[in-house]
Amino acid sequence: MTVQTSRIFSLLLVVSVSSVIFILSQEELLKSWTTFPGKNGLRWESVSFDIKVWGKKGETSGAPSVFTEASKAKIVDSTKINPVTEPKSSTHGAVTETPMPLLYKTNFTKLPQWNFDDVYNQDAPPRLTTCAQSLRNSQDEKFKKAFLPNIRLFLHKDNINMSEWNRLSHFNNPFGFMEYKYDDVMASVKLIPKPKEPLLLPKPAGDGCVHCAVVGTAGILNGSKMGAEIDAHDYVFRMNAAVTEGFEEDVGNRTSVYVHTAHSITSSLYFYRKYGYKSAPYNEGIKYVMIPEGMRDFQWLEGLLKGQQVSSGQFQKERPRTYYSGQYNESRFYVLHQDFLRYVRNRFLKSSNLNATFWPIVRPTNGAFTLFLALHTCDTVDAYGFMTDEYNKYSNYYFEKYVKNKVIFYVNHDYVLEKNTWKNLHDRKIIKLYQRTDPAANRKRKTEVTLTHP
């Protein structure tokens, strides 16, 4: 055997051994992370991980399997119970003590499917309502089948443990913790207090119903004169660049709940200052709800909850509390749970773009998450400033008073799917969607496709 041949043989031997070790390690991963204890009759071990992985070089044959026949019935039943993981004393099996190995988005050419993808934590039954027109009383079969009135809305330090971490680590952000390291995220999650009260309650002098308006930023509201009607609701939800000053006649001036990400609350000042945006809404008693969109949000949360500067990442040295205009209050601050965000996507807004290679960035808009938050905390929901079929008659934003910019479609959101969903919910009398037919509205404008959201 020549020296060169010997070297080649040695190299092949090393590669072969490495491949075997890798395969065995993956087998161990599947064996180690396929059981999660549950309660109320549901055991995670009954939900086997029928995993199909799509790699960069091609797909596995056949369509992804979401449920095995053996586990399907229990998963369906789980929509009525709470599959939250139990503490160490559980008799339902040993709780995983260490974080599972990281999963990477680049290992999948489209959204991976897991048997437990449609299983969610649920809290105690929601408040009883005497409101006759409550959307919870809807007889629409499709809505009733998809809607979980007691889906877990909020993440806090008392409702996550290692087993929960490992379950959620199978989902990309903002639906889970894929690619994230346990210590990096838990540094802030362990600071999030458990909410002391529901997000909303019926008004003492009201009719027993919780009436809500959800106000988006679409140009359809420019000149609408809907302000008084919006402010007449018990509660008003807003999100992102919620400019009200100078536009009160069209959009009102009250804000009860403001939904945001670290990016939206910081960048709005930069992008929309020229339209009059000065700060996030800061009405007395306002409640702030954060969407944990990515690692930068957890870094923001740590600084916010500690009352300090952000220690690392995109917002390093920023002081988060200065963005809430003195109205930040720990008892009125909420963080949306990953299960709620995934449930909204899976059951109402599952885009076909999730089958594309850019699937990791595809998610519902902040406005969509806000509207569904209202659907789970209110009895009646009226939506204003959301996209309608005639969106191309209007400017992108209602606060574009003098310059009418065309509507922009960003590929990380499926605007057409959302538009059709709002119309569908309106037609089925789940929400009331403000729609406007105005011959004098802006001329039709072409939409522009941009790769990423600013």
Residue 112 has pLDDT above 50, yes or no: yes
Compare 152 and 6 and report the one with higher pLDDT: 152
As a whole number, mean pLDDT of residues 62-66 equals: 31
Query: What pLDDT is attached to residue 25?
Result: 35
The pLDDT tens digits of the residues spanning 211-237 come to 999 999 999 999 999 999 999 999 999
Residue 449 has pLDDT above 70, yes or no: no
Question: Which residues, other chains included, contact 174 with Cβ-Cβ below 8 Å and sequence gap of 6+?
Answer: 291, 292, 293, 294, 297, 338, 341, 363
Distance separating alpha carbons of residues 376 and 115, to the nearest angstrom: 25
Q: CB under 8 Å, gap of 24 or more: what pairs does 107-111 form?
A: 107/53, 107/55, 107/56, 108/53, 108/54, 108/55, 108/359, 109/54, 109/55, 109/56, 109/59, 109/357, 109/359, 110/54, 110/59, 110/354, 110/355, 110/356, 110/357, 110/359, 111/172, 111/354, 111/355, 111/359
Residue 157 has pLDDT above 70, yes or no: yes
Least confident stretch, 44-48, 76-80, 175-179, 307-311: 44-48
As a whole number, mean pLDDT of residues 283-288 equals: 95
Residue 195 has pLDDT above 60, yes or no: yes
DSSP string, 139-153: --HHHHHH--TTB--
The pLDDT tens digits of the residues spanning 358-391 come to 999 999 999 999 999 999 999 999 999 999 999 8
Distance separating alpha carbons of residues 353 and 360, to the nearest angstrom: 10
The terminus-to-terminus CA distance of the chain in angstroms comes to 62
Residue 281 has pLDDT above 80, yes or no: yes
Q: Which strand (E) or helix (H) includes residue 384?
A: strand 380-384
Least confident stretch, 37-46, 181-190, 202-211, 377-386: 37-46
Residue 57 has pLDDT above 50, yes or no: no
Distance separating alpha carbons of residues 269 and 279, to the nearest angstrom: 7
Confidence of residue 410 (pLDDT cuts 50, 70, 90): confident
Mean predicted lDDT score pLDDT of the chain: 80
Structural domains of the chain ordered from first start: 38-184 (no CATH), 200-294+326-450 (3.90.1480.20)
Residue 49 has pLDDT above 70, yes or no: no
Percent of the chain with pLDDT over 90: 64
Query: What pLDDT is attached to residue 53?
Result: 42
As a whole number, mean pLDDT of residues 337-351 equals: 98
Nearest to 82 by CA among 10, 149, 20: 149
119-155 burial code (b ≥16 CB/10 A, e <16): bbbbeeebeebebeebbbeeeeeebeeebbbbbbbbb
Distance separating alpha carbons of residues 128 and 216, to the nearest angstrom: 29
User: Is the dihedral angle over the CA atoms 269, 156, 214, 324 positive or is it negative?
Assistant: negative
Confidence of residue 438 (pLDDT cuts 50, 70, 90): low
3-state secondary structure of 270: helix
User: Is the dihedral angle over the CA atoms 251, 255, 258, 263 positive or is it negative?
Assistant: positive
The pLDDT tens digits of the residues spanning 13-26 come to 443 434 433 333 33
The pLDDT tens digits of the residues spanning 236-271 come to 999 999 999 999 999 999 999 999 999 999 999 889
**Identity of the highest mean pLDDT range in 1-15, 40-54, 105-119:** 105-119
Least confident stretch, 157-161, 236-240, 376-380, 392-396: 392-396
